[in-house]
Structure 1
């Protein structure tokens, strides 16, 4: 069995082929910096990062049904032999049930959001404010188009720097649980840019989503801090029309921690104390993760599907392991 940083192509095959859990963020498995656990006795991969004495797993095993439990068991054994804590993040409902059956403590940690594009339209009273914001951006001279990442490589990096500076001197660029641009996986992504007088005012990167709700994941967006309001909304609206024209069915907005919490979505054996903590993080955890602003943006588009996502602890629920998740995401 191995744990490596190299095999992005096998990982890509796994997330396309093994979609039992329907994880809409599965493409983030290909982010640079991830590591991949494989076994000679089971197909598939487990994606993870190490922070200190903890392995933080992304999603469940991307494996065929007959090898799922075996691969998870071998990974758990690997962590135990290395004397490492193990915590899994962004598990889907099907994963959560299987992890709980194998003795993990599993709790809902947030939710993901998606829009059905089949009949999507910005017409109607509920989208008045969104339409006005888009119109304001377009009146400022904004134009939107799809582009290749290589066309704007330098401008993307410069905008990333300016955007982060606008978040305050202690802001850190999130990773692991959000998208990225560049690297070997870039050829599979789509990039839409907003331009004002030929200069980059904002962009959104989209990643492919496989499985029963296939489509695209709105996985990374940035805008110029001094730019007009509505840039991100105008770029996303343009991308939606392109995706609809191509016959794509779903646009996913991805995972937001601490949101969409519902006692009915918990699995047997969950930790009531950890559930209380997640609720408090929704109320007061803005300094750790910008959940409220993320949710506000996603709700502008009136999502049709809200899906619970889970965290799984090997053993008891642990605040220390949760902190390692945030460290893996560069939030701490």
Structure 2
């Protein structure tokens, strides 16, 4: 067995072969570890801890081997360890419920079918309006070339400005979003917005495999100087490029605490945690701007909106919830 940080090409090979999750490429993020079993193929992507361990998505393995790989990983953790699995899809739940996990919806993910996407009509009116506004403000969009040092320096400046503008009370869910560098950088694509010769915003996109292949919108940053509509113009430019290349889907990723519905909760859901997550969804702007993130994604009239879940080993423990929030930089 191997619990080390696996080389990115080896992880990518596993994801290409077995992943059917729009955010699977996050398993390549720096800091994520990968458990491999001698008994079953595939990997478990996770963040280890002293007692509380965080797993990202379900095991990336052949369907028939996922249960065996998960069981082997749980045995590896040993008695006294507590596992929390985050960003599970609905079809993953049975795997965890059969092993005594309590599962709750944590948010929703959104996907655009590029073969059906159109800017025409009322649903995309706000996108058209904002894109036109950015163009009137002389914003243009280009795709970054590999290894461009000048672009990297400009993006570093944007990152610093973004953090200053957000303030100390607003934090990103770092375990659940993409990253600009790290081991997966060679496979990511970055689109830049420029105005009067300066880069004012960017979005990175990661590859997606499985039943809805295409690209994942996984990280966006904008400087305070970016006009209204800049992010929409970047995403429209990238979306158009992907469609022209024959890509089938553009995934907008998970928005935690958004799209929560009690009818989507599994029977094992904790009522207390359900109430707490709904409170965060309504009033938790300081924890995470779920409403604004959800509103941005809904403006694109996504063709698929599906729930994602978090599962706690045995039961929902206060310590496990706290450790999860610490791991994703939400507290």
TM range (shorter): over 0.9
Residue 174 of structure 1: CA displacement? 3.9
Q: What TM-score do the two structures reach when normalised by structure 1? A: 0.95
Is the CA contact (8 Å cut-off) linking 1:51 and 1:328 kept in structure 2? no
**Distance change >3 Å, CA 298–CA 149, structure 1 → 2:** farther
Among 58, 62, 86, the residue aligned to 1:89: 86
Residue 121 of structure 1: CA displacement? 1.4
Distance 1:42 1:89 in 2: 22
Tell me the secondary structure at the aligned position of residue 43 of structure 1. Answer: coil
Is the CA contact (8 Å cut-off) linking 2:172 and 2:288 kept in structure 1? no
How big is each residue's C-alpha offset from its partner over 1:249-275, in whole Å with a ceiling of 9 and x where there is no partner?
111100011112223322232222222
Residue 149 of structure 1: CA displacement? 5.0
Distance 2:305 2:211 in 1: 15
Among 107, 113, 122, the residue aligned to 2:104: 107
Greater mean deviation of Cα atoms: 268-277 or 207-216: 268-277
Q: Which residue of 2 aligns with 1:176?
A: 175
Residue 111 of structure 1: CA displacement? 0.9
Residue 306 of structure 1: CA displacement? 0.5
Q: What is the 5 A alignment of 1:149-228?
A: 150-151=147-148, 152-228=151-227
Q: Which residue of 2 aligns with 1:331?
A: 330
Unpaired segments ≥5 residues, structure 1: none
Residue 280 of structure 1: CA displacement? 1.2
Q: What TM-score do the two structures reach when normalised by structure 2? A: 0.95
Tell me the secondary structure at the aligned position of residue 327 of structure 1. Answer: helix
Q: CA RMSD in A?
A: 1.5
Among 125, 130, 137, the residue aligned to 2:127: 130
Q: Which residue of 2 aligns with 1:43?
A: 41
Distance 1:309 1:125 in 2: 28
Is the CA contact (8 Å cut-off) linking 1:149 and 1:191 kept in structure 2? no
Tell me the secondary structure at the aligned position of residue 250 of structure 2. Answer: strand
Q: Which residue of 1 aligns with 2:140?
A: 143
Distance 1:320 1:297 in 2: 33
Q: Is 1:69 aligned with 2:67?
A: yes
**Distance change >3 Å, CA 308–CA 173, structure 1 → 2:** closer
**Distance change >3 Å, CA 174–CA 279, structure 1 → 2:** closer
Tell me the secondary structure at the aligned position of residue 78 of structure 2. Answer: helix
How big is each residue's C-alpha offset from its partner over 1:236-255, in whole Å with a ceiling of 9 and x where there is no partner?
01111111111111111000
How big is each residue's C-alpha offset from its partner over 1:136-187, in whole Å with a ceiling of 9 and x where there is no partner?
1111111111112522111111111101110013444542200011233111
Is the CA contact (8 Å cut-off) linking 1:193 and 1:202 kept in structure 2? yes
Is the CA contact (8 Å cut-off) linking 2:170 and 2:286 kept in structure 1? no
Distance 1:326 1:132 in 2: 37
Tell me the secondary structure at the aligned position of residue 162 of structure 2. Answer: helix
Is the CA contact (8 Å cut-off) linking 2:123 and 2:300 kept in structure 1? no
